[in-house]
Amino acid sequence: MSAADLSGRRIVVSAGPTFEDIDPVRFIGNRSSGKMGFAIAEAAARRGAQVVLVAGPVSLPTPPGLQQRVDVRSARQMREAVIAQLPADVYIGAAAVADYAPAEVAPGKIKKKDEQLTLALVRTPDILAEVAVHARRPTVVVGFAAETHDVEFYARGKLEKKKVDMIAANRVGVSGSGFESDDNALTVYWLDGERALGPAPKTALADQLLDLILARWPA
């Protein structure tokens, strides 16, 4: 890794959770601190890339050297923000996007009434899959996968189904790694290979992931 080995590259990173509002005081969200995506954005900027960070609701400071940070709340807003940033050389989807959102947002606070409440949920857009088949598709599209079991099976499934170049799967269950932690362990899969990274601080993993992306850059 040299100091400016990403100079001239335009990299879009999405990070953090999305919040899908139920009513003015409640939402459906994901457990994601945003630290992994922010670390990737920071590392890429340090290595000379023009970085746009699309961030869900997180409480993290903006990394130095970014070209732009766009804050969003919902999956739908994240999709709009990401698509608006194309074309790019690389898209790294590190966000924990909610898969379902309430079919409608109640205009006022829902009051408790019956013993049971059923919420109708609808699928959110799959941002990663859309970017990967977009007319302005980035040269390299990288997704993440959060799995609790059968990690390789599901990660390779996502690689194929979403037509992305790499999937970085969180190895959950490795002690001290994962959601709110500063450390993580990833296994990165591509069509004809894989590499285990960490356990290591997310900042170190970010650089190792960027190294892998550069090494596999199409000639």
DSSP code, position 104 = S
30 is an active site residue: yes
Contact pattern from residue 71 through residue 110 relative to Ca ion, giving x for each residue in contact according to CB under 5 A and a dash for the rest: ----------------------------x-----------
Q: What token pair was written down for 202?
A: 């997310």
Binding of ligand CTP by 46 (CB under 6 A): no
User: Are 145 and 189 contacting, i.e. CB atoms less than 8 angstroms apart?
Assistant: no
Minimum distance of ligand CTP from residue 144's CB (angstroms): 4
Alpha helices in the chain (DSSP H): 35-46, 75-84, 127-132, 151-161, 202-215
Query: Tokens 């335009």 sit at which residue?
Result: 10
Dist CA 92 CA 90 (whole Å): 6
**Interface residues for ligand CTP in 108-127 (CB under 6 A)?**
124-127
Q: Which stretch binds ligand CTP (CB under 6 A): 66-74, 91-99, 193-201, 211-219?
A: 91-99
101, 19 contact by CB (below 8 A)? no
Q: Is 34 in the site for ligand CTP (CB under 6 A)?
A: no
Q: Which of residues 1-60 bind Ca ion (CB under 5 A)?
A: none
**Residues designated catalytic:** 30
**In the complex, which residues of this chain contact ligand CTP (CB under 6 A)?**
75, 93, 95, 97, 99, 124-128, 143-146, 158
